[in-house]
Structure 1
Amino acid sequence: MDNTPFISEIYIYPIKSLGGISCQSARAEEMGFENDRRWMLIDENNQFISQRKHPILSQFQPQILEDKIEITYQDKKHTFLINESINNPILVSVWDDQSEVFEVNKTTSDWFSECLGFACKLVKIIEIGDRKHKSKALNVTLNVSLADGYPYLLVGSESLDHLNEKLEEKITVARFRPNIVISSKRAHEEDHFGIIKLGDVTFKNVKPCARCIMVNNDPMKSIVLKEPLKTLSTYRKVDKNVLFGTNLVCVEKGVVNVGDVLSF
């Protein structure tokens, strides 16, 4: 029986820290999958907004409809064009990096402000190179999107299964917000990948991903509990970091599909 690892799930997260979209295929680019974390919410001080402080963001669910993105929140819906923006650059910080972004439109910002109960703007990164991230692991500067650091996160199915064996209440991979899930053979084997190919696309493994309190937010309920970080810290803690999944960069662009096999 052929047990070669293959892509079992693909996700994109158009707006940083909001819900994800399950895809059958996605175009892999230098900055991440097409339309992945090209948008984010910022507050009045131009600081990015995330589930770390506002777990309710997991309740905002995006959907791509041809040239539009539709956001659903409770009984409300809002739509904006993928390519629209106000030509007035805003300088923002994403952790240690600065990026030039542009507000999508005032109506969209007002809609999010009303839903969240405080003033915010939806902004977009437009050009490759508008945010550069210095990778200490690779000792290179990367062109990235508005993701926390690296453009891609890969998780092996066995890593999640191994964790769920230790948890009283089982969780789904949605807690970890991966871009790619593979049907792995051993728990955490993805930590040790080097250069890999998924279909016709080539990726380079950067380092295992250090996890934060966001993984304790149940995305269906927006309730933050102690798991799974509490259990992960008993066997996945390295130098004060709790690791789960691994960060990748794309070194040869193309389209990946659910079912594409992994090769080295």
Structure 2
Amino acid sequence: MNTIHVVKEIYIYPIKSLAGISCQNAKAEEMGFENDRRWMLLDAENQMITQREYPIMSQFYPQISDGKISISFKDQKHEFSTTEHLDIPIKVNVWDDQSEVVEVNFATSKWFSEQLGFECKLVKIMKNGDRKHESSRLKETFNVSLADGYPYLLIGTESLDFLNEKLEEKITIKRFRPNIVISTQKEHEEDDLDTFKIGEVQFKNVKPCGRCIMVNNDPQKGIVKKEPLKTLSKYRNVNNSVLFGTNIVSLNSGVISIGDEVVF
């Protein structure tokens, strides 16, 4: 690729399945960006809770400032420290991976329970190595956060533009919850990336990302629709998996920023 590719958008999602935060820059770590999906909600049986079952979760908006995370939901707000946690370990599964987490505090769990209308608790993954994910494609094991599978999701701008040309109701990139959006010249060229550098960080492509019903949830309304999966399935269905964006891992730590060139 001889054309210049640059970073257009950066997002983190502090609490799994809640709304994301748009960032000017972010610190890349092995597990993902700093503070990205280090927290998640569990139900009374310690099963993870996501927008797949509860689309309204897209209406919880986090912000991080001065070492605290504040959550806004409708006219309610709650705040907790990024460092606070209880000391009792909890064994949970994130899909096929076992992870060790700890509850943040009882007040935060109670607040989420009241807003969602059922018993739940907010938990945190404490350190690198508390969850490992094996890549069958690379035959490697990675330390990851509480993300579905891999630490980072990257999407090219042309992939969304190409999809929107086919949709009656246009959508934004937020439907796909990327961590990094780069300018591209051709749709889905990100699928074919190998290793590349952004800012201080070397990244490696693992595999294109198979998408689920969650991308049909309109994040601004918390309403599940038929698109874009219906349209995507017509031209991006590979081995019964609808692909959009690609999963990547970082090979070192460092900061990346909007405007950074993608160097191949």
For the aligned pair, the TM-score class normalised by the smaller chain equals over 0.9
Structure 1 match to 2:106: 106
Question: 1:212 — aligned with what?
Answer: 212
Shift of 1:84: 0.3
Partner letter of residue 50 of structure 1? T
Paired residue total: 263
Quote the Cα distance in structure 2 between the aligned partners of 1:259 and 1:66.
25
Question: In structure 1, what is the equivalent of residue 25 of structure 2?
Answer: 25
SS of the counterpart of 2:221? coil
Q: CA deviation at 1:184?
A: 0.7
Task: Return the alpha-carbon distance in structure 2 between the equivalents of residues 133 and 189 of structure 1.
Answer: 25
Aligned to 1:73: 73
The one-letter amino acid of 2:82's match is I
Q: In structure 2, what is the Cα distance between the partners aligned to 1:213 and 1:121?
A: 24
Q: Determine the structure 2 residue equivalent to 1:192.
A: 192
Aligned counterparts of 2:66 and 2:232: Cα–Cα separation in 1: 39
1:176 aligns with 2:176: yes
Per the alignment, residue 246 of structure 1 pairs with 246
- Give the structure 2 partner of residue 158 of structure 1: 158
Q: How does 1:103-142 map to 2 (within 5 A)?
A: 103-142=103-142
Gaps of 5+ in 2: none
What displacement does 1:221 show?
0.4
Distance in 2 between the 1:164 and 1:133 partners? Answer: 33
**SS where residue 45 of structure 1 aligns?**
coil
In the other structure, the counterpart of 2:262 is 262
Post-superposition offset of 1:200: 1.9
2:37 aligns with: 37
Output the CA distance in 2 between the equivalents of 1:260 and 1:157: 15
Q: Could you tell me how far 1:199 is from its partner in structure 2? A: 1.6
The alpha carbon displacement at 1:3 in A equals: 5.0
- Residue 235 of structure 2 aligns to a residue whose secondary structure is coil
Deviation at 1:85, TM superposition (A): 0.2
- 3-state SS of the aligned residue for 1:181? strand
> Bigger CA drift: 158-167 or 197-206?
197-206
The equivalent residue for 2:88 is 88
3-state SS in 1 of match to 2:4: coil
Superposed displacement of residue 66, structure 1: 1.3
Q: Is 1:148 the equivalent of 2:155? A: no
The letter of the residue matching 2:263 is S
Q: Deviations over 1:167-191 (max 9, x none)?
A: 0000000000000000111100000
Distance across 2 between alignment mates of 1:137 and 1:59: 35
In the alignment, structure 1 segments of 5+ residues that lack a partner are none
Q: Secondary structure at the match of 2:214?
A: helix
Aligned-pair identity (%): 66
Shift in Å, 1:253: 1.4
- Alignment match, 1:231: 231
Alignment TM-score, normalising by the size of structure 2? 0.99
Structure 1, residues 79-123: CA drift from partner, whole Å, max 9, x if none?
Answer: 000000000000000000000000000000000000000000000
Q: Distance in 2 between matches of 1:20 and 1:70?
A: 13
Structure 1 length as normaliser, TM-score? Answer: 0.99
| Residue of structure 2 equivalent to 1:55 | 55
Letter in 2 for 1:22: S
Q: Give distance in 2, aligned partners of 1:119 and 1:137.
A: 38
Shift in Å at residue 150 of structure 1?
0.2
